Amino acid sequence: MLRAAELVARVMEGGNLTDAFERMAELHGSWPEKTRAAVRDLAWSTLRDYGRGDAILRQLLHTPPAIVIHALLLVALRRLEQRPEQAHTTVDQVVQAAAVAMPGLKGMVNGVLRNALRQRAQWPQWIDGDEEARHAHPRWWVERARVDHPERWKALLAAGNQRSPMALRVNRRRSSVDAVLAELAADDIPARALGADTIVLEHAVAVARLAAYAEGRVSVQDAGAQRAAVLLAPQAGDRVLDACAAPGGKAAHLLEMADIELLALELDPQRAQRIERNLARLGLQARVQVADCSAVQQWWDGRPFDRILADVPCSASGAVRRHPDIKWLRRDEDIAAFALQQRRILDALWHTLAAGGTMLYVTCSVFAQENAAQVSSFLRRHADAEIVPIEASPDCQLLPDVDHDGFYFARLRKRL
């Protein structure tokens, strides 16, 4: 429990959860898979529960405690909700953990948790009386959801608090959905097909259990993310740009779909290495270059692209259940900053698209400012741009559900 609390504390101090977890897992290389999964699950689910634990703690504490103890209490409350039948064991374990982290506060932790247990019947009322706790999202986020999705905001927020589905993308150059489904069935991994290359697993499993992964026959990629390559529809011989490419999921899908010449750009050199590793595992080739895609003069050779994938940096609000730390780290004003960055990238990339070529704009956001509003303003600035509809709609806003995360897609064609 202390390890999960350390991860939560890292996020409360402004750190990235996935990075913190990877560093911790590296440090404890001998952890069995079960321990790794348990630490991960507890940290992730505590952070997904944004605001709920604090609504309870506010009733029991006058001042917020030191960060590591605060995090430990949140983890403890999460565990008490998950396993009410083991309440006393949980309290004992948390008190022992507090004795390691801050021995002087052991008694306080014990007192708060025993008090919390005594008043357990009140928790639903405390949570319900606080809007952030009720939806387990920051207030500004609830407000944006309400304004941007007036019909579906409650379902959208509820979906953000669920566990994310695990989906595979079959490398059609090496296997097929049917063959992989048969392999999974033989390994007792329940799964179903969803679309041309997509399989959704009933429960998440460690990739180490998937021989098809190590052998480059499948990749782990959200089913929503897999729509990008399908919508861009690369054709043999196309010159294609993936402008924001790491870790290379969509780049690899494009290369699996057609014999194309692909340039994959990535700003972050370390993340760029992940593209190389992924392509090597799948037996695919592309030119990978570390560059800021919006500084066109630094990387473009002047030959226009037939297709461009602009999978821009965004709030990731559509993938919040996968990255629950973003509820804690993002601020309302960050959305405008992302929108500005996206606008710069779109305007710069447009110059590199051939007349008649297609650019697919993608975010994993559910906020209109990064999505439909961004595209409308792009169309107003570029008279030579037109929308290519997606299933009879000008664009496509996927909201998170049992099959996929939230994504936004808009297809833009440069007039001839």
Binding site for ligand SAM (CB under 6 A): 225, 244-250, 265-268, 271, 292-294, 311, 313, 345
33 vs 268, beta carbon nearer ligand SAM: 268
* DSSP at 402: S
71 vs 364, beta carbon nearer ligand SAM: 364
Residues carrying an active site annotation: 364
Task: Supply the minimum distance, in Å, between the C-beta of residue 397 and ligand SAM.
Answer: 16
10 vs 253, beta carbon nearer ligand SAM: 253
Task: Supply the minimum distance, in Å, between the C-beta of residue 64 and ligand SAM.
Answer: 33
157 vs 349, beta carbon nearer ligand SAM: 349
Supply 266's token pair.
Answer: 């990535």
240 forms beta bridges with 262, 307
Q: Tell me: is residue 248 an annotated ligand-binding position.
A: yes
Task: Supply the minimum distance, in Å, between the C-beta of residue 271 and ligand SAM.
Answer: 5
| Beta carbons of 270 and 244 less than 8 angstroms apart | no
The SS3 of residue 198 is strand
Distance CA 139, CA 122 (A): 22
Distance CA 76, CA 55 (A): 14
Task: Supply the minimum distance, in Å, between the C-beta of residue 312 and ligand SAM.
Answer: 7
114 vs 172, beta carbon nearer ligand SAM: 172
Task: Supply the minimum distance, in Å, between the C-beta of residue 314 and ligand SAM.
Answer: 7
199 forms beta bridges with 168, 193
Q: Tell me: is residue 245 an annotated ligand-binding position.
A: yes
Task: Supply the minimum distance, in Å, between the C-beta of residue 164 and ligand SAM.
Answer: 16
Q: Tell me: is residue 111 an annotated ligand-binding position.
A: no
Q: Tell me: is residue 154 an annotated ligand-binding position.
A: no
Q: Tell me: is residue 246 an annotated ligand-binding position.
A: yes
Which residues are CB-neighbours of 254 under 8 A, at least 6 positions away? 229, 232, 234, 240, 242, 260, 262, 309
Q: Tell me: is residue 34 an annotated ligand-binding position.
A: no
Note the residue count of the chain. Answer: 416
Please identify the residue of the shown chain whose CB is closest to the bound ligand SAM: 244
127 vs 353, beta carbon nearer ligand SAM: 353
Distance CA 175, CA 218 (A): 8
Distance CA 254, CA 272 (A): 17
Alpha carbon of 318 to those of 152, 221, 367: distances in Å?
A: 14, 14, 8
Task: Supply the minimum distance, in Å, between the C-beta of residue 200 and ligand SAM.
Answer: 18
* The dihedral sign for the CA sequence 385, 391, 394, 399: negative
185 vs 336, beta carbon nearer ligand SAM: 336
Alpha carbon of 379 to those of 39, 97, 142, 203, 367: distances in Å?
A: 46, 56, 29, 42, 18
Q: Tell me: is residue 138 an annotated ligand-binding position.
A: no
Alpha carbon of 151 to those of 110, 160, 171, 375: distances in Å?
A: 44, 16, 37, 22
Distance CA 218, CA 158 (A): 30
265 forms beta bridges with 289
> Which of 221, 410, 218, 392 shows the shortest CA–CA distance to 310?
410
Supply 403's token pair.
Answer: 């099959």
Q: Tell me: is residue 250 an annotated ligand-binding position.
A: yes
Name the region of 188 (left: φ>0; alpha: ψ -120 to 50; beta: rest). Answer: left
Distance CA 329, CA 27 (A): 24
Residues annotated as binding site for S-adenosyl-L-methionine?
244-250, 266, 292, 311
Residues annotated as binding site?
244-250, 266, 292, 311
